[in-house]
Amino acid sequence: MSGDAILVTGGAGYIGSHACKVLAQAGYVPVTFDNVSTGWEQAVKFGPFVRGDLLDRAALEGAFAEHRPVAVLHFGALSQVGESVASPGLYWRNNVVGSLNLVEAMTAAGCRNIVFSSTCATYGDQDGVVLTEDSRQMPLNAYAASKRAVEDILRDFENSKGLNAVVFRYFNVAGADPEAEIGEWHQPETHLIPVLIEAATGKRDALTIFGDDYSTPDGTCVRDYVHVMDLVAAHLQGLDWLLQRKGSRVFNLGTGQGFSVKEVISEFEAVTGRPVPFVYGPRRAGDAALLVSDCRRAKEELGWSADRSILKQMIEDAWRWYRTGGYRAE
């Protein structure tokens, strides 16, 4: 309903800020809840901002009491695979305990609808199988394991407290707001297309390709890329699903088409006209060889379409955003 508040954890981050923009355009009031540890206060442009940490139960309770959201979009999490391998406790504490605090606070406040940002990484490495929502979950790292654990928490609270959850398992998110008002800006940057930009513009010496001996056509990892604007459009549809009382459901969000690291480099060079220096490094712990989605359920049940998720378009939008200068530490 127009004017209803939606609590957006991680709303100062890459995906969360794009979600806030489309929520505001749809007539909702997006309330960002973020500790700005990896996000940017400059990205909070579309509704109220509550600076808070998911590990702070009192801050969460205050946000629910003040804004009375009808639903939660839960993006707030640490998300670097390599870091999760090195520091698993950090990921279990932040992602799992933080999410448990959130779910307990929202159910105590009478809020029963949540859209959760999960990941295709929960499937692990399944030898090139196209992954459906019913594929076995075999996480290879603490990041993926923490996301699967939150899915389990949501199921338990559905059974116990009547919680309704739409879980989206993302494939690789890329691109930026076409109007370049917000975009992807991490410090340090770990996602492929922004790293390509840094290598092509001299901000780093070279891109490191982690492994060239995978069982893929050119030896480099293959991933399914989805445009951030298509992704957040799905969140609006997931929100509608919940508000129409259709119950809990898991959906993959991807395109069904994979691109190798080297294919993305070639397309980037074609789009930007900039050569990308790269070197090969050893495989990165916790990386799967190939992750490609079967996203028919989201298309058939939500009516979702990944219209903007064309590799050329994602690179063009990311490149346009980069040239605005991005965010600056204050």
pLDDT score of 291: 85
Q: What is the CATH number of the domain that holds 29?
A: 3.40.50.720
CB of 70 closer than 8 Å to CB of 5: yes
Cα-based angle 8, 10, 16 (whole degrees, multiple of 5): 70
Residue 120 lies in a domain: yes
CB environment 199-221: b (16+ within 10 A), e (fewer): bbeeebeebebbbbebebeebbb
65 and 130 part of one domain: yes
pLDDT score of 326: 84
Pairing between β-strand 49-51 and β-strand 29-34 as defined by DSSP bridges: parallel
Q: What is the CATH number of the domain that holds 317?
A: 3.90.25.10
Cα–Cα nearest to 35, from 14, 52, 59, 20: 52
Cα–Cα nearest to 230, from 322, 157, 168, 288: 168
pLDDT score of 2: 63
Q: Where are the beta strands (DSSP E) in the chain?
A: 5-9, 29-34, 49-51, 71-74, 113-119, 164-170, 172-174, 207-210, 222-227, 249-253, 258-260, 278-281, 290-291
212 and 287 part of one domain: yes
Question: Rounded to the nearest 10 degrees, how much is the dihedral formed by the CA atoms of 230, 232, 122, 148?
Answer: -160
Q: Which amino acid is at 144?
A: A
Phi and psi torsions of 110, nearest 5°:
85, 10
Q: What is the pTM of this model?
A: 0.94
Residue 184 lies in a domain: no
pLDDT score of 127: 67
Query: Which residues belong to the active site?
Result: 143
Using CA atoms, how far apart are residues 127 and 210, in angstroms rounded to an integer? 18
Q: What is the mean pLDDT of each run of 10 residues along the chain (330 residues)?
A: 89 97 98 94 96 97 98 94 92 97 98 97 82 93 96 97 97 95 87 95 95 95 96 98 97 96 97 96 86 94 96 97 81
CB of 36 closer than 8 Å to CB of 52: no
Residue 105 lies in a domain: yes
DSSP state of 121: G
pLDDT score of 328: 74
Residue 305 lies in a domain: yes
Domain region containing 264: 192-223+256-322
Whole-number Cα distances in Å, 327 to 39, 41, 43, 154, 160 = 10, 9, 8, 34, 42
Using CA atoms, how far apart are residues 167 and 164, in angstroms rounded to an integer? 10
pLDDT score of 50: 98
112 and 245 part of one domain: yes
